[in-house]
């Protein structure tokens, strides 16, 4: 009986790094729906922001900030880039590739810290992008009513 308990403990310890790597990947996956909504909001703003609206330059810059923080291609670019394009690893959309890469090779303690840091970065980044987009959207709603 004791041998079975030792074997189970050894198996669990051997699986721990994979489980922690999965935790890091699941953390990234958990924020995908929110990132998709933000991406769609940015794309909608690209079509609504026009140069003939009063104060459009300021709101254009705010939209650019949201776009850059999210990790999309340049806000001024109308068409999506080719398949070789990748978002910056420092952006919300680009964090995933970096997280997966780092999670493969780091120690268990570093993976736990990485997952916690990723959750914090995603939460703060999503709030920031949402705030920028809400500001531009509310401005557009006021200006378009006139």
Considering the domain boundaries, does residue 32 fall inside one?
yes
CA distance 9 to 23: 20
Residue of 70 and 28 predicted with greater confidence: 70
Question: What's this model's pTM, rounded to 2 decimal places?
Answer: 0.79
Chain length of the chain: 146
Q: Look up the domain containing 64 and give its range.
A: 17-145
Residue 7 belongs to a domain = no
Say if 109 falls within a structural domain: yes
Domain contains 111: yes
Neighbours of 73 (CB within 10 A): 14
* pLDDT above 80 (res 57): yes
Q: Which of 55, 95, 91 is nearest to 72 (CA)?
A: 91
Tell me the average pLDDT across 2-11. Answer: 42
Count: domains in the chain: 1
Instruction: Indicate whether 8 belongs to any domain.
Output: no
Residue 105 lies in a domain: yes
Asked whether residue 12 is domain-assigned, the answer is: no
Residue 11 pLDDT > 80: no
pLDDT at 19: 57
In a domain, 2, yes or no: no
């Amino acid at each position: 009986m004791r041998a079975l308990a030792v074997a189970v403990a050894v198996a669990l310890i051997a699986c721990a790094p994979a489980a922690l790597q999965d935790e890091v990947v699941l953390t990234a996956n958990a924020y995908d729906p929110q990132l998709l909504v933000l991406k769609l909001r940015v794309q909608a703003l690209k079509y609504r922001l026009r140069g003939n609206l009063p104060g459009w330059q300021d709101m254009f810059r705010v939209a650019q900030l949201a776009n850059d923080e999210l990790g999309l291609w340049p806000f001024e670019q109308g068409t999506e880039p080719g398949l070789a394009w990748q978002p910056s690893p420092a952006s919300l959309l680009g964090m995933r590739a970096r997280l997966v890469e780092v999670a493969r090779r780091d120690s268990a303690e570093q993976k736990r810290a990485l997952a916690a840091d990723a959750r914090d970065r995603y939460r703060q980044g999503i709030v920031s992008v949402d705030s920028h987009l809400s500001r531009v959207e509310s401005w557009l709603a006021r200006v378009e009513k006139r």
